[in-house]
Chain A
Amino acid sequence: MVGIVVVVAIFAPYLSPYPPDQMNILNQLAAPSHRHLLGTDNFGRDILTRIFWGSRVSLLVGFSSVAVAGVIGTSLGLLAAYFGGAVDNVIMRITDIVLSFPVILLALALVAVLGPSVRDIIISLGLGYWASYARLVRGAGLEVRSEQYVEAARAVGNGHLRIMLRYMLPNILGPILVMATLGIGSAIVAEASLSFLGLGVQPPTASWGAMIADGLRFFLQAQDLSTFPGLAIMWTVLGFNLLGDGLSDYLNPKINRGRHGALQDEEESPDASYVQAH
């Protein structure tokens, strides 16, 4: 499922039957036909084309905001787990504070002050999501820190940074990857929500959330305007959730004994419900 969306996003210019912003005021809100397979919107633009191009924005925001959140959260989580004491306390209190804000609310507030560009949406979502990674990485890192190979690495004189990146990080990468995969789906929904509210990607750039908002505005004239972008979001998010859950099962030794490293346990491997609930 994810593969199809990625291919569509990469090859959108070649797969799209029309340019994404090509308007035709004589053919507004047209029903699906052989010329426009999913019909046209209120400006006469081809909906299929805009769904293809919208996938680019969704995936760009999804991957980039998860990268921002993952890098910040993993770095701080590792620092907290490795150094402990005051460093751990300070980082975890900041994490508690960020986790007190529902992500969509924090993203809304940040987008309101920074502005509704793709870059600022990525930053806002990244700043909203990093705390979950920090908490996850700290938990996993605390277990790894007392392992013999980390002690050995310290004994032979490796520096702090090298121990964290070379010896601790590779051993806690599994749960991070699972959370990142599931997080992409959440970030895609968050971006679409912001665009739905008019605070996300600005027109004329195609965005699935904004297309659904148009569907609600023009429901009486064209009943299925919001159906196809809605299905596109659901397909993509479902794909990432299934991929994340599959990855979680694969990495979980309680399900797949002996197939992979034995560091992850059920508490450390988040699933789709966990990520959505945070």
Chain B
Amino acid sequence: MKRISLLVPVLLGISIVTFLLIHLIPGNPAAAMLGTNATPAQIARLNHSLGLNQPLWLQFLSYIGRLLHGNLGQSITQYQSVASLVAYALPNTVELAVLSLVVAVVLALPLGVASAVWRNSPFDFAAMGFAQVGISMPVFWLGTLFVEFFALDLHLFPSFGIGPPIGQALGALLQGNLGPLGSLFSHIALPALTLGLTGAAIVSRMVRTAMIEVLGQDYIRTARAKGLSATKVLWRHALRNALLVVVTVIGLQFGYFLGGAVIVETIFAWPGIGRLTVNAILARDFPVVQGCVLIIATLFAVVNLLVDVSYAVLNPKIRYQ
């Protein structure tokens, strides 16, 4: 409960940071948003509509009041509410992040476990060598290489865009039509692989470290001494305990994918919240930037809290007061 109550000041802090973003703009924020061709009347109108001519504390109170009503403001370039733009983009980002996470865990878990079991073997050196290279490889370069190779050279996957919504694809599948689901997967494959592979490099190293530590524990030696088979010791005793680390890593990775989505979504023109943020920055549409940053940071903070809480639930030795 104490841990959950700590989220409140963090969320308040996030809203203060996002509120202040617009006020960090040198000079007049409204003039900066409208560009050099704006007339004084247009600037005055935007100042008024954004409430920038009010005292700072009043602006903040009205900002918090709006947030509590789910109002993230109005886009100045797309003439839509920021909430509706985010509501469209966020599910796409979550879809991409979840699939990337699946790619990362499916690759990293066996790789990390095998590296720990065959520690210091040629397999371990090769796997961890690849992981080190994967960690050092910028995600946007990997994405660029994938577009160039798989999309433009081999024409295996589309280089940009999104397939049909997942609900529609599943509905079609129930009617025996595989087409929409295939289109969905072909569109998401490259962005998810790009994010997932980089994530797998990080996760596999962490899983390996956790497994090596667990495999050196007394209870593993006891289990072996009892005559349990190596497979049983590995899966029933070692991996179950190493999973604690995996849960933490999944939480960290989700945050990493939210950050990475900003880059990957731009490369693959994936209509998620990352691309929405970058486009808003390029168009100097600061209400949208504020809204996106607020939502991503809030999501990140909540996921971190869930990781902490699930860590405590999974590990009886840790109990938050």
Given the known A-B contacts A94-B13, A113-B21, A226-B148, are A103 and B259 also in contact in the complex, defined by CB atoms under 8 Å?
A: yes
Chain A interface: which of B34-42, B47-55, B82-90, B134-142?
A: B134-142
CB neighbours (8 Å) of B144 from chain A are 212, 215-216, 226, 230
B-side contacts of A192, CB under 8 Å: 138, 140
B residues 276-319 near A (Cβ < 8 Å) are 277-278, 281-282, 284, 286, 289, 293, 296-298, 300-301, 304
CB distance from A227 to the nearest CB of B (A): 8
User: What's the tally of chain A residues with a CB closer than 8 Å to chain B?
Assistant: 48
| Residues of chain A within 8 A of B301, CB atoms compared | 96, 100
- A230 and B132 in contact, given A96-B6, A110-B24, A114-B24 (Cβ under 8 angstroms): no
| Contact between B152 and A219, CB atoms less than 8 A apart | yes
A225-263 contact mask (Cβ, 8 Å, vs B): 1 or 0: 010001001100110011000000000000000000000
B275 to chain A, nearest CB (A): 10
- Among residues of A, the one whose C-beta sits closest to the C-beta of B199 is A277
Residue of A at shortest CB range from B253? A277
Query: Chain A residues with Cβ under 8 A from B152's Cβ?
Result: 219-220
Q: How far is the CB of B127 from chain A (nearest CB, A)?
A: 13
CB < 8 Å: which of A105, A223, A226, A238 contacts B141? A226
User: Which residues on the B side are within 8 Å of A241 (C-beta)?
Assistant: 132, 135-136
Give residues of chain B (116-154) contacting chain A, Cβ–Cβ below 8 Å: 132-133, 135-141, 144-145, 147-148, 152
Given contacts A100-B14, A108-B278, is CB(A113)–CB(B140) below 8 Å? no
Interchain Cβ contacts under 8 Å between A and B, 12 examples: A97-B17, A102-B259, A102-B300, A104-B259, A104-B262, A110-B24, A197-B263, A234-B136, A234-B141, A238-B136, A272-B205, A273-B201
| Shortest Cβ-Cβ A-B pairs, 4 listed | A102-B259, A97-B13, A238-B136, A230-B141
Interface residues of A (CB under 8 A from B): 93-94, 96-97, 99-106, 108-110, 112-115, 185, 189, 192-193, 196-199, 209, 212, 215-216, 219-220, 223, 226, 230, 233-234, 237-238, 241-242, 271-273, 276-278
B residues contacting A by CB (< 8 A) are 6, 9-10, 13-14, 17, 21-22, 24-26, 132-133, 135-141, 144-145, 147-148, 152, 201-203, 205-206, 209, 249, 252-253, 255-256, 258-260, 262-263, 266-267, 277-278, 281-282, 284, 286, 289, 293, 296-298, 300-301, 304
